[in-house]
Amino acid sequence: MSAMALILAGCSSDDNDGTPDLPPIGGYDNSDEVAAANLVAKWSFENDLKDSKNNIAGVGTLAGYSVGKKGQAFQGSSTEARYAIYNGETAVGAVSSFSLAFWMKAGQTVPDGGTPGQGKGAQGIFSLVNPDGFWGGLNLFLENPDDNNPTKLRIKMDIENKRTGVVWQGQGPIFNVASIDTWVHIVLTYDAATSRFSAYQNGELGAVNSLSGVPYGLFGTTASNILYGNDPGGPGPVGDYPTDPAATPGSNGNPNSAPLYGALEFATPALSQVVIGSHQFTTTPSLTTVHGTEPWSTTYAGALDEFRIYKSALTLAEVNALFLLESANR
């Protein structure tokens, strides 16, 4: 019997109101208790687009919904652009560390072939909008398939750090997800104290496959990445963090003694607008004054559910608890 089956088998129904008295998972009774003090935004998409943490309704374009992992879900489209824009998300724009946690169900992307079209090319999922930049402060999107992993979805998390002293201001870890047209739980974290980016799939630490445009700092295939603020001058420490002592900051992967990426700071003035279901430049009109739609880009065609943003890097225990609780509809 699986661990999940054992947990569910232990349920009882002896509360006065007749509802099941469920045992805690990871010390939590429901998913909203996980890192509750650090949760800065939450979208459940229960037939509406509201950020329930901040009571921000958002403005939807052709909003669509479908059966989600937990209740209803945001449903994108391969035939029409669907997205939502939110103003006043000041807490999101103020994060220096972060975690993005969400469920997604998506088909493989379709290369654009040089001709723009709805549902073709890289699909925008989320952006912290910077109206004066091509990329926003945080940018999450579904990339075209990796030729070496044609059966996996390819997720890219572009992070822009405008803090003084950071030379490599834009970094883009990529994560291959072994789940097509199936609900999968994804958590992407960045810890400002250690400059470590990590990716989780279904409650477990996954493989950060590469750093787009950044040739250094890559750990092994089952761990996470340290992001540097400048060229570290080496291949990066190799090994499985945290079990391999060689895979630690300050090992021989940084002969240039480059500074770490550190605390995130976005554009000035502070960013406070986000878009879900699109890149910042694929909305109509574009949310940035710098650029409009590229032929390789489109809005998101899949489904999203329980999209959460935290101002901290969730621990493995917190990630696992969140996955199990939401899987149990709690």
When mean pLDDT is compared across 106-120, 167-181, 207-221, 286-300, the lowest value belongs to 207-221
When mean pLDDT is compared across 21-30, 181-190, 270-279, the lowest value belongs to 21-30
Q: What is the pLDDT of residue 14?
A: 44
The 8 Å CB, 24+ separation contacts for 315-320 are 316/200, 316/205, 317/26, 318/26, 318/34, 318/35, 319/101, 319/187, 319/189, 319/200, 319/203, 320/26, 320/203, 320/204
Q: Which pair of tokens denotes residue 231?
A: 């060229």
More confident residue, 111 or 4: 111
Q: Which residues contact 166 (CB under 8 A, 6 or more apart)?
A: 229, 230, 259, 261, 262
* Cβ neighbourhood burial of 128 (10 Å; 0-12, 13-18, 19+): buried
Q: pLDDT digits over 199-223, tens only?
A: 999 998 876 665 543 433 333 344 5
Cα–Cα distance measured from residue 96 to residue 179, given in angstroms and rounded to the nearest whole number:
30
Q: pLDDT digits over 230-272, tens only?
A: 887 765 544 443 444 444 444 556 777 889 999 999 988 889 9
Asked whether residue 299 carries a pLDDT value surpassing 90, the answer given is yes
Asked if residue 26 is part of any domain, the answer here is no
More confident residue, 192 or 1: 192
Range of the domain at 138: 38-327
Cα–Cα distance measured from residue 144 to residue 186, given in angstroms and rounded to the nearest whole number:
18
Cis omega (within 30 of 0) for bond into 245: no
Q: Which residues contact 128 (CB under 8 A, 6 or more apart)?
A: 89, 92, 93, 136, 137, 138, 139, 266, 271, 273, 274
Q: What is the pLDDT of residue 176?
A: 85
In degrees and rounded to multiples of 5, residue 65 shows phi and psi of -135, 155
For the ranges 14-28, 130-144, 240-254, the maximum mean pLDDT occurs at 130-144
Asked whether residue 197 carries a pLDDT value surpassing 50, the answer given is yes
Which helix or strand (DSSP H or E) is residue 91 part of?
helix 90-93
| Angle made by CA atoms 307, 305, 160, in degrees to the nearest 5 | 35
- Tokens 């995130």, residue? 264
Asked if residue 23 is part of any domain, the answer here is no
The predicted model scores a pTM of 0.87
- In this structure, the number of other CB atoms found within 10 A of the CB of residue 37 comes to 7
Asked if residue 242 is part of any domain, the answer here is yes
Asked if residue 254 is part of any domain, the answer here is yes
Q: pLDDT digits over 30-74, tens only?
A: 999 999 999 999 999 999 999 999 999 999 999 999 999 999 999
For the ranges 170-184, 215-229, 270-284, the maximum mean pLDDT occurs at 270-284
Q: Give the rounded percent of residues in the chain with a pLDDT score beyond 90.
A: 61
In degrees and rounded to multiples of 5, residue 71 shows phi and psi of 75, -130
Asked if residue 14 is part of any domain, the answer here is no
Asked if residue 269 is part of any domain, the answer here is yes
Asked whether residue 7 carries a pLDDT value surpassing 50, the answer given is no
Asked if residue 170 is part of any domain, the answer here is yes
| Res. 11 pLDDT band, cuts 50 70 90 | very low
Q: What is the mean pLDDT of residues 98-120?
A: 87
Asked if residue 31 is part of any domain, the answer here is no
CATH number, position 156: 2.60.120.200
Number of folded domains in the chain? 1
More confident residue, 20 or 95: 95
When mean pLDDT is compared across 3-7, 127-131, 233-237, 316-320, the lowest value belongs to 3-7
- Tokens 């996954």, residue? 206
| Antiparallel, parallel or unpaired: β 98-105 and 122-128 | unpaired
| Res. 1 pLDDT band, cuts 50 70 90 | very low
